[in-house]
Structure formats: C-alpha cells, structure tokens
C-alpha cells in the first residue's frame, strides 16, 4: 500500500482538526506534507511538531516569525511560508497527492482550484469555492484528471448512494430522479422569524447536532448553509435545480438521500461526526476506521422529515434565486453572506439583517457569465464593497 501524501488547507479549523484525528490513527496510510492556518499559530505549531510537514503556511509575516520561533525551539524542520500565494505553494510544492480543502469561505477558492488543476485527489469541504466558481472548478478537475470527493456530509452521503457509473452526463444518470439534501434546521428551526430579533452570536452558533466553525454555524441557523449546499450539489452531480430538494430532518441521522426511478430511495446514515465523510474521502474506495461510534438505531426515538418554510428562512430562498440567476450571482450571494455573517459575529449587525444585506447585493449587482477566475473574484470584491456600504448605512 502506498502512503498518501496529504496537504491540509485550514488545518486548525474544525474540519482540519478532524482530518488530523483520522490521519493520526492511520500512520501506515497517510503522511502529512503541508499544513496551513490563518491565525492560530500555537495550534499550528503543535500540529507541526506532531506531524512534521515539509511546508506550513500562515497568513502574514508576523505569524510566520512566531511559527518559526516556536518550531526552532522544538528543532522541527518545516519550511514556513505566508500569504495567499503560499497556500498555492502548499498544494503545488509539497509533493502532496491529496488535498483537504478546508479553509472557510472565498479565501479557499484559489488554492482549491490549484489542487484541481494539478490533478490531486481533492477532498472538498470548502463549499464556498464551488458555489463561487462551480463551472470553472469542475472543468479544472476534469482537465487536471484528479479525483473529487465531497466532504460536506450531505454530498458525501449522496456520493455514497449514487450508482458507480453515474456521471454528470444525463445519459449516465442510471435511473436517478432526485437528490434529497437533509438539514437539521439549526437552533431556530421551531421559532418563527419574529422570535429572532435579539439573537446573539452565541445563540446562533449553538448548533443542536454538529460542532463546527462559527461561520458555518451561523449559516446553519439561517439555512444559508443549505442554500449553498443546493448550489454545491448542482455542480457536483449535474442534476437540474428542480431535482435537488431540501428536507428538514432534526435528528441528523440520515445525511442525505437519492431517489430512483423504480421507487427506491437510498439513504446514508451515521452519527453526526465529520470524521466519517473525511475518512471516506481519504481512503476511498476503501473504508477505514474513522474513530466514530457505531450508530445504534434502537436508541433513536424516531426520524422525521418536513419541507422547510421559505418565509422562516429567507436566506434559503435567496440562495435558490441566486442559483436560478446563475453566472456570478452565487459568488455575489456568497460574498455578501460572508460579510454579513462576519458583521453579525463581530460588529453587532442584527441577526435578522443578514438576509437583507444579501438581498441588497443580489438586487444591486446584475450577474454576468462566470467564465474566468478574474470575473468571479471581481464579483466577489464588488459584492463585499456593496455589502459593507449597506451595513454602514443600516448601522448609522
């Protein structure tokens, strides 16, 4: 068995730490060759001491100096680089064959695309990259000739439930009729929108079933996360938007389903633990121990599925609208949402203003064809500027 050489983009985050947890249990299968993080330098230093990558990347020169100091103390020989371009070097110059793309948000797009172009096995957690650049990203994967394995639990579930020879080409859909993405509904699934006026970041981040980074936790509360995931599923699997459905499933046991023409519905079930899809992506097509407790069906009190109410989750309908509009609209949606969520988490923007910011940007910026990285990054930058201006006016 050859040892997989793994680069982890975003190693200090929730997905990054879970990835290292799986890798730690299988040293005969995986070697970590690159780790990257934005700010948590001490945590990254500890990871470098344990996994001894050849490259570590941080956001800026101060972080790099600090990391170098910490690694010298421990006599660890790891090349320390910094800045956005160095994230690409972590992919192209570390000798990796497998890349875990787990940076949160648009910041992860360029290195994820580099991994696609370079023909790596791409374990895609960074859904925002695909939302922004779906067509470009899928083309880059094809040209690079690597393997794309979805890590988002819903898409990983669907990947597991699709027929082996399924491709994005409709003639190879092999009886697949619909994809059903499940959603927990987040911490506010039983509240009406009028109850949510004074919601704090702590309340929004207290997800009932999953432990995740703060941005995706807020996205789960607003259900923007599910909207982004519908767009992600569209690009990954190539079914028309109207065949991608969302179901609220509060127990988070069924991670998603595929409905077939003959009446069969295949579901993937498991604990709400990201180490399952991570282990699946790392070892595919083999299955390895993920360190996850077995699912005990007799302990479940029931499984329920309902349709989400769009009036309760305006971010979900905005995502559907952006998906339908196409072109750069999903990139605008994503950028406006990132700015609004950050303002909610750090600058007192009211929770209920998040969809207003996104809607304002979608109305203000007409979509154009998303046919180059430059166009997509331009749309992203303009949406951030527009969102910031709008937030400024509503906070005055």
Q: What is the DSSP string of 306-369?
A: BPPPTTT-HHHHHHHHHHHH-TTHHHHHHHHHHHHHHHHHHH---GGGHHHHHHHHHHHS----
Q: Under the criterion CB under 5 A, does residue 152 sit at the interface with Mg ion?
A: yes
Min dist CB 127 to ligand NAD, Å, is 5
The strand pairing partners of 260, in sequence order, are: 176
Q: Under the criterion CB under 5 A, does residue 338 sit at the interface with Mg ion?
A: no
Q: Under the criterion CB under 6 A, does residue 16 sit at the interface with ligand NAD?
A: yes
HSE of 119, CA atoms in CB hemisphere, 13 A: 4
Nearer to ligand NAD, 14 or 356 (CB): 14
Selection from 91, 92, 82, 31 nearest residue 60 by Cα = 82
CB contact set of 35 (below 8 Å; sequence gap of 6+): 7, 8, 11, 16, 44, 47, 48, 51, 53, 55, 56, 57, 90
CA dihedral 361, 363, 365, 367 (to 10 degrees): 120
List binders of ligand NAD among 263-302 (CB under 6 A).
Answer: 274
How many chain residues bind ligand NAD (CB under 6 A)? 26
Nearer to ligand NAD, 103 or 149 (CB): 103
Q: Which stretch binds Mg ion (CB under 5 A): 34-42, 154-162, 200-208, 332-340?
A: 154-162
Out of 12, 47, 98, 184, the residue judged to bind ligand NAD by CB under 6 A: 12
Binding mask 53-72 for ligand NAD (x = CB under 6 A): ------x-------------
Out of 45, 64, 118, 128, the residue judged to bind ligand NAD by CB under 6 A: 128
Q: Which stretch binds ligand NAD (CB under 6 A): 48-56, 99-107, 133-141, 311-319?
A: 99-107
Min dist CB 149 to ligand NAD, Å, is 13
- CA–CA dist 219, 186 (Å, integer): 9
Nearer to ligand NAD, 193 or 373 (CB): 373
Q: Under the criterion CB under 5 A, does residue 219 sit at the interface with Mg ion?
A: no
DSSP 8-state class, residue 18: H
- CA–CA dist 180, 252 (Å, integer): 13
Q: Under the criterion CB under 6 A, does residue 112 sit at the interface with ligand NAD?
A: no
Out of 22, 35, 99, 107, the residue judged to bind ligand NAD by CB under 6 A: 107
Out of 35, 67, 90, 103, the residue judged to bind ligand NAD by CB under 6 A: 103
Q: Under the criterion CB under 6 A, does residue 227 sit at the interface with ligand NAD?
A: no
Selection from 114, 119, 122, 118 nearest residue 98 by Cα = 122
Out of 7, 20, 37, 113, the residue judged to bind ligand NAD by CB under 6 A: 37
Nearer to Mg ion, 9 or 114 (CB): 9
Min dist CB 292 to Mg ion, Å, is 16
Selection from 194, 240, 246 nearest residue 220 by Cα = 246
Encoding tokens for residue 302? 């029931």
Nearer to Mg ion, 11 or 153 (CB): 153
Q: Under the criterion CB under 5 A, does residue 232 sit at the interface with Mg ion?
A: no
Residue nearest Mg ion, Cβ-based: 152
Assign residue 326 a region: left if phi > 0, alpha if psi is -120 to 50, beta otherwise? left
Nearer to Mg ion, 44 or 267 (CB): 267
Q: Under the criterion CB under 6 A, does residue 222 sit at the interface with ligand NAD?
A: no
Q: Under the criterion CB under 6 A, does residue 102 sit at the interface with ligand NAD?
A: yes
Long-range contacts: 266-274, Cβ < 8 Å, 24+? Answer: 266/161, 267/157, 267/161, 268/156, 268/157, 268/158, 268/160, 268/161, 269/295, 270/295, 271/295, 272/153, 272/209, 272/210, 274/14, 274/15, 274/18, 274/151, 274/153, 274/210
Name the site residues for ligand NAD (rule: CB under 6 A). 10-16, 37-39, 59, 102-104, 107, 125-128, 152, 210, 212-213, 215-216, 274
Residues that bind Mg ion (CB under 5 A): 152-154
């Amino acid at each position: 068995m050859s040892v997989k050489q793994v680069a982890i983009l975003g190693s200090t985050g929730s997905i990054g730490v879970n990835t290292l947890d799986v890798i730690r249990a299988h040293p005969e299968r995986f070697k970590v060759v690159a780790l990257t993080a934005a700010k948590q330098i001490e945590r990254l230093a500890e990871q470098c001491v344990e996994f001894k990558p050849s490259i570590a990347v941080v956001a800026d020169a101060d972080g790099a100096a600090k990391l170098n100091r910490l690694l010298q103390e421990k006599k660890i020989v790891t090349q320390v680089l910094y800045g956005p371009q160095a994230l690409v070097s972590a992919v192209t110059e570390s000798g990796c064959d497998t890349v875990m793309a787990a940076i949160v948000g648009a910041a992860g797009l360029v290195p994820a695309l580099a991994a696609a172009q370079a023909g790596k096995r791409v374990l895609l957690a960074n859904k925002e990259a695909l939302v922004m650049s779906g067509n470009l990203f899928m083309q880059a994967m094809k040209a690079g000739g690597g393997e794309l394995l979805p890590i988002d639990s819903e898409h990983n579930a669907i990947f597991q439930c699709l027929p082996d020879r399924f491709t994005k080409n409709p003639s190879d859909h092999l009886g697949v009729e619909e994809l059903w993405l499940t959603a927990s509904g987040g911490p506010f699934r039983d509240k009406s929108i009028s109850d949510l006026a004074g919601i704090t970041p702590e309340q929004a981040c207290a997800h009932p079933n999953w432990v995740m980074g703060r941005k995706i936790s807020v996205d789960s509360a607003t259900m923007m996360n599910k909207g982004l995931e519908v767009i992600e599923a569209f690009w990954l699997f190539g079914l028309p938007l109207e065949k991608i459905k969302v179901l609220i499933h509060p127990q988070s046991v069924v991670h998603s389903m595929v409905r077939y023409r003959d009446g069969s519905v295949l579901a993937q079930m498991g604990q709400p633990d990201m180490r399952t899809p991570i282990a699946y992506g790392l070892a595919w097509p083999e299955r390895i121990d993920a360190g996850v407790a077995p699912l005990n069906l007799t302990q479940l009190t029931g499984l329920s599925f309902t349709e989400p109410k769009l009036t309760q989750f305006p971010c979900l309908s905005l995502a559907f609208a952006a998906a339908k509009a196409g072109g750069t609209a999903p990139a605008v949606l994503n950028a406006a949402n990132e700015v609004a969520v950050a303002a909610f988490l750090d600058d007192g923007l009211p929770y209920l203003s998040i969809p207003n910011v996104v809607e304002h940007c979608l109305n203000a910026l007409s979509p154009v064809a998303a046919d180059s990285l430059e166009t997509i990054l331009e749309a992203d930058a303009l949406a951030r500027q527009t969102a910031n201006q709008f937030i400024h006016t509503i906070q005055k």
